Copies of this chain bind each other. A is one copy, B any other.
Amino acid sequence: MINVENQLDTFLEKNLDLYIQETSELCAQPSISARKEGVLECAELVIQILERHGLQTQKFETAGSPVLVGRATGESERTLLFYNHYDVQPPEPLALWTTPPFQPAVRDGALYARGAMDDKGQFIARLAALDAVRHAHNGSLPCNVTFVVEGEEEIGSPHIARFVREHTDVLECHAAIWEEGGTDPEGNPITTLGCRGILYVELAVETLKLDAHSGGAHHLPNAAWRLVQALASLKEADGKIAIAGFYDDAHPPSAPDLALFDALPDTEEWLRETYGVKEFVGGLTGDDFKRAVFNPTCNIAGLTAGHQGEGLKTVIPARATAKVDFRLIPNQDPDDIFTKLRAHLDREGFTDVRVTRLGAMWPYKASAEDPFVQLAKRNAEAVYSRAYRIAPLAGGSSPIYAFAAPLGDIPVISAGVGNSNNRAHSPDEYVRLDDFLNGARHIARILNDFAKLTQ
Interface residues of A (CB under 8 A from B): 33-35, 89-90, 92, 96, 154-156, 196, 198, 200, 207-222, 224-225, 227-229, 231-232, 235, 271, 274-281, 284, 289, 292-293, 295-318, 320, 322-323, 325, 327, 352, 358-359, 394-397, 423-427
Interface centre among A33, A214, A325 (most CB of B within 10 A): A214
Contact, CB under 8 Å: B228 / A312 = no
Q: List 10 A–B pairs whose Cβ atoms lie within 8 Å, in order of A's numbering.
A: A34-B310, A34-B311, A210-B275, A214-B299, A217-B325, A219-B289, A224-B300, A224-B303, A228-B303, A301-B307
**How far, in angstroms, from A426 to B323 measured CA to CA in the complex?**
26
Which of B198, B200, B276, B297 lies in contact with A209, CB distance below 8 A? B276
Contact, CB under 8 Å: B301 / A35 = no
Contact, CB under 8 Å: B280 / A301 = no
Shortest A453–chain B CB gap in Å is: 30
**How far, in angstroms, from A208 to B425 measured CA to CA in the complex?**
15
Question: Which are the 10 A-B pairs with shortest beta-carbon distances?
Answer: A215-B396, A209-B276, A215-B395, A34-B311, A232-B232, A302-B306, A302-B307, A224-B300, A217-B297, A217-B299
**How far, in angstroms, from A315 to B327 measured CA to CA in the complex?**
12
Shortest A201–chain B CB gap in Å is: 10
Contact, CB under 8 Å: A301 / B277 = no
**How far, in angstroms, from A387 to B256 measured CA to CA in the complex?**
83
Known contacts A213-B396, A281-B219; A302/B313 CB under 8 A: yes
Contact, CB under 8 Å: A323 / B327 = no
What B residues does A318 contact at CB under 8 A? 275
**How far, in angstroms, from A279 to B208 measured CA to CA in the complex?**
10
Q: For A156, give the chain B residue with the smallest CB separation.
A: B312
Contact, CB under 8 Å: A277 / B312 = no
Shortest A85–chain B CB gap in Å is: 14
Contact, CB under 8 Å: A196 / B215 = yes
Contact, CB under 8 Å: A232 / B224 = no
**How far, in angstroms, from A305 to B302 measured CA to CA in the complex?**
5
